[in-house]
Amino acid sequence: MISDRAKKGIERAPHRSLFKAMGYTDEELARPLIGIANAANTIIPGHIHLDKISEAVQAGIRMAGGTPIEFGTIGVCDGIAMGHEGMHYSLASRELIADSIEIMAKAHALDALVLIPNCDKIVPGMLMAAARLDLPAIVISGGPMLPGSYRGQATDLNTLFEGVGAVSAGTLSCEELAELEDTACPGCGSCSGMFTANSMNCLSEVLGLALPGNGTVPAAYAARIRLAKKAGMRIMELWREQIRPSQILTEKAFINALTVDMALGCSTNTALHLPAIAHAAGIKIDLNLINEISKKTPHICSLRPGGEYHIIDLDQAGGIPAVLGELAKANLLNLEEKTVSGLTIGQIAAESRNLNPEVIRSVENAYHPEGGLAVLWGNLAPDGAIVKQSAVAEEMLTHKGPARVFESEEAAVEAILGHKINKGDVIVIRNEGPKGGPGMREMLQPTSAVVGMGLDKDVALITDGRFSGATRGAAIGHVSPEAARGGPIALVQEGDLIEIDIPNKKLELLVSDEELARRREAYKPKEPKIKTGYLARYAKLVTSANTGGVFEE
């Protein structure tokens, strides 16, 4: 056992004494020490109940002959951090989460890990740590929130953000918004659509590091507690068999994850997180791979924000196993890939049942012939840009309009809510990338304001930052290189024509090469918005969005 380094032999008597100071017995110390990275806190709705998940995991570990050792990690609630300085810290927290788990596991000679995340950056941060450490590991998330209800209609957090725009447009009263505020988020769990947190929790199943149900069983259900106990028991089998992430996180596993990503219409943030997790596993994901997989993978689940269904509907229809089953029928998956369940992806798919062919459609009856995400290329994004094409209105799949240029999210939101944006405009928000932000803020406020004001079929948004997984509409993010690195988005001027062609994967600034060269000579990068503390160090190390925003080696 790795933990013997810290507990076995005469010279480790001081170490054992410290364990005993916490109440550990000799019998407990004789067993494998299983680390539990628990992101519980009282600031994230998806994490408020993770203490209960951890208790269930610990019960499972003890039943199967291990000793659970719990430690904490940080987490940012993107919804609460949205629209102010706090969002600069969200993506940046991913690296700290991975680093902190590495520190705890290495410093205390842990034998295996159970990872308990639930929301946005916490899930990929923990997966990055698992790949980096290569100890036997399993993920058990806190599960999705149930949808809210407003006058008979299912609601979620995105309903609130769009409601703000609706109030500005005069189509919703302040009293109605207050009623929404009280009902849209009814309890614990990750926000109830196919937003970033649920996207990553679902893809954790496909990558093979989580049990079936991890991404879809609601947080409020007892089935989530039972799943946590099973995860605790299962980590002991993984330890005994020495099954490690390096045996599971293969190149084919990432191709499977991207395939399911396209079928589900996941958040654009998966284009940041999957490459980052792959990087930690020593695997490179090129953005071209997204378009290759998207082209042959139909979009078979239409979930919020692009569709009407929530995660609970996906769970009741058969969950991720049923999605795997439909894709397997069309030979779109690598079926031999291992998972922590002990079953291969093919076996999970074969045992699944699709209980609602409208929520999970067959490949032949897909919502869209191509997958949910697309990478756009052109002189405005030489290294690529990301759009959730499954959430774009048909009218906006191709668009040409004048640029309305803003140097920050706040300035853009002020213009949108101030009725200064016209139909046909292309809103450009720059200096919000990983380096220039710093931190590549997630922007749900401007996109929701556009939708709330009824402009989502008339206005596009383009940014070197990123958009929330709850975003819908022609919102194109991750434009690379970013403005802070001298990317062409830095050279866009008010009124320049921009052409968007999502079906042909093009994003073009309709300005001559000669004019762009002249502008580049006069260009001076803007000073970082935050010059001290962690974010100043982060800005010096972080790479562009097209690499997953990982740190330079």
What the block records as the tokens of 4 is 């013997």
Distance from C-alpha of 352 to C-alpha of 436, rounded to nearest angstrom: 45
Distance from C-alpha of 118 to C-alpha of 115, rounded to nearest angstrom: 10
Q: Give the residue among 163, 215, 155, 208 at the shortest CA–CA distance from 186.
A: 155
| DSSP-derived secondary structure for 207-230 | HTSB-TTTTTS-TTSHHHHHHHHH
Kindly give the interhelix angle for 409-417 and 445-452, rounded to the nearest 10 degrees. 10
What the block records as the tokens of 422 is 């016209």
Instruction: Tell me if residue 468 is catalytic.
Output: yes
List alpha helices for 360-418, DSSP H. Answer: 409-417
Q: Give the residue among 336, 255, 268, 267 at the shortest CA–CA distance from 297.
A: 255
Q: H or E stretch including 67?
A: strand 67-72
- Residues 6+ away with beta carbon under 8 Å from 421: 404, 415, 427, 450, 455, 459
* Rounded (10°) CA dihedral 397, 453, 161, 473: 0
Q: What 3-state DSSP class applies to 42?
A: coil
Q: Are strands 67-72 and 33-38 parallel, antiparallel or unpaired?
A: parallel
Q: H or E stretch including 451?
A: helix 445-452
- The catalytic residue among 141, 468, 480, 544 is 468
Distance from C-alpha of 232 to C-alpha of 215, rounded to nearest angstrom: 17
Instruction: List active site positions.
Output: 468
